[in-house]
Amino acid sequence: MPTDTENRELISLPTAELLRLAPFAGDFFSSIGLELPAEEISTADYFASLDAELLEDLGLERQTLAERFTAFMELLENLKSGIDSAHIESITIRGGHDKSGRAEEFDLTVKPGEVICIVGPTGSGKSRFLADIEWMAQGDTPTGRNILINGAAPDPSQRFSIEHKLVAQLSQNMNFVMDLTVEEFITMHAESRMVDDISSVTAAIIKLANDLAGEKFTPQTPVTALSGGQSRALMIADTSCLSTSPIVLIDEIENAGIDRKRAVHTLVDKRKIVLMATHDPILALMGDRRLVFKNGGIATIIDTSQEERANLVRFEEMDAMLGAVRNALRNGELIGKLG
């Protein structure tokens, strides 16, 4: 993988050679509004040859181009190495204090593959807790909490780097604002992650999403035509395969027309840490632990017991029954007397 010095040398390579070594380098030129240089010209010579008026029009300064190029190539490297090694083994939340200043007496360590539920009334501090994790709080948020990565304070440069974003969020009122087919959409995401085999990753994600969604869709379906359940299924499959973030935050997947249990298992299988703000009985009992929020702090941490979990079977039966009624209603059937 090219190092810093090698990046500096990339700039002297003829474009054909550059693109052979780093296929995504072409994006650099288009992203700032420049045409791809001719094959035999090096990036450095190309910069020197650009018309001053063109640069002025594009709002670019010649002397910063080389620096921009180097920064771009470093970004590509960081993203690539970020995918190659998702080296998060644990995330620790070191307790701070609640709104009255009462200390939270715990260190909570979560590991890939764990499911954590977050419960508590509105205003109790659930969103603040998630924001603490998202921004890797270092005692500098209203709660005074500290976030440790693999047992140590994260490097300050990681706090705002998109390559090291800790949390991917799957929210309820999410829309697609792009007019693309499912296949084009996932391809675009895979490209931004510099995945090696884009078409097979894309195919795998679409298949996975179809397994999760009640109603099937094809790679050619426009994303804007997907139902709520299909959209969520697609985003769960996409996030589990393409996101570098070790934590996936889900708020409310109740009744979304998707197999909730399998959705969570999909993320767990991909070694994500799943955080769910939910009061849905089935989801809550799937969690390994529940964090109970009160007055801006975590009041208790409940480990889901065998006894609690034994109820899951009952809840699933009830859920299946309601699901069947929902289907009957959709199909225009009458609801008979319940047995």
Ligand X SMILES: Nc1ncnc2c1ncn2[C@@H]1O[C@H](COP(=O)(O)OP(=O)(O)O)[C@@H](O)[C@H]1O
User: Interface with ligand X by CB under 6 A: which residues?
Assistant: 97-99, 120, 122-128, 142-143, 293, 296-297
Determine if 182 is a binding residue for another protein (CB under 8 A). Answer: no
| Number of shown-chain residues binding another protein (CB under 8 A) | 48
First to last CA, the chain: 65
Instruction: Please state the closest distance from residue 177 (CB atom) to ligand X, in A.
Output: 25
Residue 297: which of ligand X, another protein, Mg ion, none does it interact with, CB under 5 to 8 A by kind? Answer: ligand X
CA–CA separation, 306 and 181 (whole Å): 44
Determine if 153 is a binding residue for another protein (CB under 8 A). Answer: no
What order do you get walking across the sheet with 107-110 strand by strand?
107-110, 91-94, 146-149
Maximum Cα interatomic distance, the chain, rounded to a whole number of Å: 82
Determine if 210 is a binding residue for another protein (CB under 8 A). Answer: no
Instruction: Please state the closest distance from residue 115 (CB atom) to another protein, in A.
Output: 18
* CB of 120 or CB of 229, closer to ligand X: 120
* CB of 10 or CB of 137, closer to ligand X: 137
Instruction: Please state the closest distance from residue 178 (CB atom) to another protein, in A.
Output: 7
CA–CA separation, 208 and 240 (whole Å): 10
Hey, how many other C-beta atoms are within 10 angstroms of the C-beta on 238? 23
* CB of 97 or CB of 265, closer to ligand X: 97
DSSP annotation of 258: B
Determine if 16 is a binding residue for another protein (CB under 8 A). Answer: no
Instruction: Please state the closest distance from residue 321 (CB atom) to another protein, in A.
Output: 32
11, 186, 212, 276: which one contacts another protein (CB under 8 A)? 186
7, 239, 266, 278: which one contacts another protein (CB under 8 A)? 239
Give the pairing of strands 115-119 and 107-110: unpaired
- For 287, residues 6+ apart whose C-beta sits below 8 A from its C-beta are 115, 116, 117, 276, 304
* CB of 55 or CB of 116, closer to another protein: 55
Instruction: Please state the closest distance from residue 312 (CB atom) to another protein, in A.
Output: 28
Instruction: Please state the closest distance from residue 133 (CB atom) to Mg ion, in A.
Output: 14
Stretch that binds another protein, among 169-177, 195-203, 303-311, 328-336 (CB under 8 A): 169-177
Cβ(32)–Cβ(66) below 8 Å: no
Determine if 162 is a binding residue for another protein (CB under 8 A). Answer: yes
Residue 152, strand partner residues: 149
Residue 100 vs residues 62, 122, 140, 290: alpha-carbon distances, Å: 55, 17, 17, 22
Residue 107 vs residues 48, 104, 147: alpha-carbon distances, Å: 56, 9, 10
The mark string for 19-58 relative to another protein (x by CB under 8 A, - otherwise) is: --------xx-xxxx----------------------x-x
- Tokens of residue 153, six digits: 């304070």
131, 198, 282, 312: which one contacts another protein (CB under 8 A)? 131
Residue 180 vs residues 18, 169, 232: alpha-carbon distances, Å: 30, 21, 16
146-154 contacts: CB < 8 A, separation 24 or more?
A: 146/93, 146/94, 146/96, 147/91, 147/92, 147/93, 147/94, 148/91, 148/92, 148/94, 149/88, 149/90, 149/91, 149/92, 150/87, 150/88, 150/89, 150/90, 151/90, 151/92
* CB of 77 or CB of 285, closer to another protein: 77
Q: Which residues of the shown chain bind another protein in the complex (CB under 8 A)? A: 27-28, 30-33, 56, 58-61, 68, 71-72, 74-75, 79, 127, 131, 134-135, 140-142, 160, 162, 168-171, 173-178, 185-186, 188-189, 192-193, 231, 235, 238-239, 242-243
